[in-house]
Amino acid sequence: MMAMVNRFPEARRTTINDVASLAGVSKATVSKFLSATDYYMSQETRAKIERAIEELNYHPNALAQGLSSRRSYAIGVVVASITNPFYPELVAGVEEVIDPAGYTLLLGAIAESKAKEAAVVRTMIQRRVDGAIIASATMRDGGVQQLVKAGINVVVASRELAKPVADTVVIDNRMGGRLAAEHLRQHGFEQAVYLTGPLDVLAFRHRLEGFRSVYGEADGPLHIARSSELSDATEAAASLLAGLRRPAAVFAASDTLAVGLMTAAHSLGVSVPEDIALIGFDNVWVGQVPGVSLTTVDSKARQVGAVAAGILAERIGRHPSGSPGGRTPPERRVLAPELVVRGSCGCRRTATT
């Protein structure tokens, strides 16, 4: 008889041992009942275990399971900001495929802050997530590398990577830029300005490249906002509109930027699309509201999320968790964006009115 020191006097959840003894079997058997669906087991013991679980209202401790099995069945999702309407859509896509597969979602938001980025990376590692989806334009490559180096399966969504250290799923941003620009040009605009956020965000740069394949530097000037927050967007748009030569057509690198332009336009008394044709990017929810009616390029956030989750799940299947040697090489999936024509570009008489 040992000392049996109990560190937690009053508490005491029911454990697998309780189930085992009530059912009259060993805990190994109960464990197998819990996990393996195909394990040899008589209908009788199966029934006894079921009854015991039911009666004790037993819930296996996921922490212990994870510790023992070395799989957490959790996947971390890192976004820049939850309130940016683009990300929830992507997260929904992830959730859509991750959930039926039995994974739980750990959410990490890194609001621009470098410290938070490091903290999120640390959390994901410490919690031993089975995989991570990085969907934050603001997370630097270093963070991704750390995760990879820690042996975590990661796929980067809606963001380009300088070195291909992880799977990537993106849309063809150049194509998106081209789509928008072509549409404007087809409708007779000889010039158009590209209203964008900081160009160190690769997506913005690629959209620019697409745009440039249609409008050259001369007839396609740039106007750069400090950030893609609405306030900064509005400010930048205001300065653009107040400039000497007010553009007749604008391609905004995101819907937020586009809304910023609408806001600035409104307060300056210039109207969309009468005075100025506008195309956005992302196709977030707002655009479809009649009063907004934003022509935009759909960036397929939900699909990107779903595809990313799919790749991740598959990779987890191959390389369960701790890195068993040679991983399969990084995969890269490119989805096609799609132009959604509504009123703001002025080519339909479904205008903003």
Partner DNA sequence: GAGGGCTTCGGAAACATTTCGGAAACATAT
Partner DNA sequence: ATATGTTTCCGAAATGTTTCCGAAGCCCTC
**What does the alpha-carbon distance between residue 159 and residue 177 come to, in Å, rounded to a whole number?**
16
Least gap, CB of 165 to DNA (angstroms): 24
Residue 266 touches which member of a second copy, DNA, none, C-beta under 5-8 Å by kind:
a second copy
Least gap, CB of 332 to a second copy (angstroms): 27
Sheet holding 295-298, edge to edge: 222-224, 193-196, 249-252, 277-282, 295-298, 338-340
**What does the alpha-carbon distance between residue 147 and residue 64 come to, in Å, rounded to a whole number?**
23
**What does the alpha-carbon distance between residue 83 and residue 137 come to, in Å, rounded to a whole number?**
14
Q: C-alpha distances in angstroms, 79 versus 53, 90, 219, 242, 305? A: 38, 9, 35, 34, 11
**How many CA atoms within 13 Å lie on the side-chain side of 211?**
29
Residue 32 touches which member of DNA, a second copy, none, C-beta under 5-8 Å by kind:
DNA
Based on its alpha-carbon atoms, the radius of gyration of the chain, rounded to whole angstroms, reads 26
- List 56, 101, 118, 125, residue binding a second copy (CB under 8 A): 125
Closest by CA to 296, choosing from 240, 337, 336, is 337
Residue 144 touches which member of a second copy, DNA, none, C-beta under 5-8 Å by kind:
none
By beta-carbon proximity to DNA, the closer residue of 3 and 162 is 3
Which stretches of the chain bind DNA, using CB under 7 A? 2-8, 12-13, 15-17, 24-32, 34-35, 40-42, 44-45, 58-61, 64-65, 67-70
130 binds a second copy (CB under 8 A): no
Question: Going by DSSP bridges, is the β-strand pair 338-340/332-335 parallel, antiparallel, or unpaired?
Answer: unpaired
**163 Rama class: left (phi>0) / alpha (psi -120 to 50) / beta:** beta
Question: Going by DSSP bridges, is the β-strand pair 338-340/295-298 parallel, antiparallel, or unpaired?
Answer: antiparallel
- List 141, 151, 160, 213, residue binding a second copy (CB under 8 A): 151
Which segments within the chain are labelled E, that is strand? Answer: 74-79, 104-109, 131-135, 153-157, 167-171, 193-196, 222-224, 249-252, 277-282, 295-298, 332-335, 338-340
Residue 202 touches which member of DNA, a second copy, none, C-beta under 5-8 Å by kind:
none
- List 29, 254, 283, 293, residue binding a second copy (CB under 8 A): 293
- List 116, 205, 212, 327, residue binding a second copy (CB under 8 A): 116
**What does the alpha-carbon distance between residue 90 and residue 82 come to, in Å, rounded to a whole number?**
10
Q: Which stretch binds a second copy (CB under 8 A): 8-16, 157-165, 193-201, 220-228?
A: 8-16
Q: Which stretch binds a second copy (CB under 8 A): 37-45, 100-108, 185-193, 207-215?
A: 100-108
**What does the alpha-carbon distance between residue 308 and residue 158 come to, in Å, rounded to a whole number?**
9
By beta-carbon proximity to a second copy, the closer residue of 34 and 224 is 34
155 binds a second copy (CB under 8 A): no
Residues 54-93 as x/- pattern, contact with a second copy by CB under 8 A: -----xxxxxx-xx--x-x-x------xxx-x-xxx-xx-
**Binding interface with a second copy (CB under 8 A):** 8, 10-13, 59-64, 66-67, 70, 72, 74, 81-83, 85, 87-89, 91-92, 95, 99, 104-109, 116, 119, 122-123, 125-128, 150-151, 259, 262-263, 265-267, 271, 285-286, 288-293, 321-325, 352-353
